[in-house]
Structure 1
């Protein structure tokens, strides 16, 4: 007998949190196109690019309160 996705989800919710996290990560990894290392490398490259932009004066930082306001205004 095969479980539907909804039935499998309901069963997975019965697992302890630690096991649910491990299950979720394994499931996510099964459909990722990029490895975790590739994602981390891309974020590191992006952070360096942004730092370089700041140091070169091509972008300006904004106060956290303003950034937070912009973020929550999108919702």
Structure 2
């Protein structure tokens, strides 16, 4: 990543979460060459399925800090 990109990233990371989410969504959308018309419906169904599995206790959630710690340990170990 060049200096300009790094500065842009640092500026973006200082924004409120909702603004960062909008920027991230826009960037990801810009990478999609073609849009799948059924994608929104499929994602909505998948999100609903995952939320139900959490609500029903079918999955164990892992705190973000634990995930990041494990990833750092794997990278350094």
Report the TM-score when normalising by structure 2: 0.43
Larger radius of gyration: 1
Higher share of residues assigned helix: 2
Report the TM-score when normalising by structure 1: 0.43
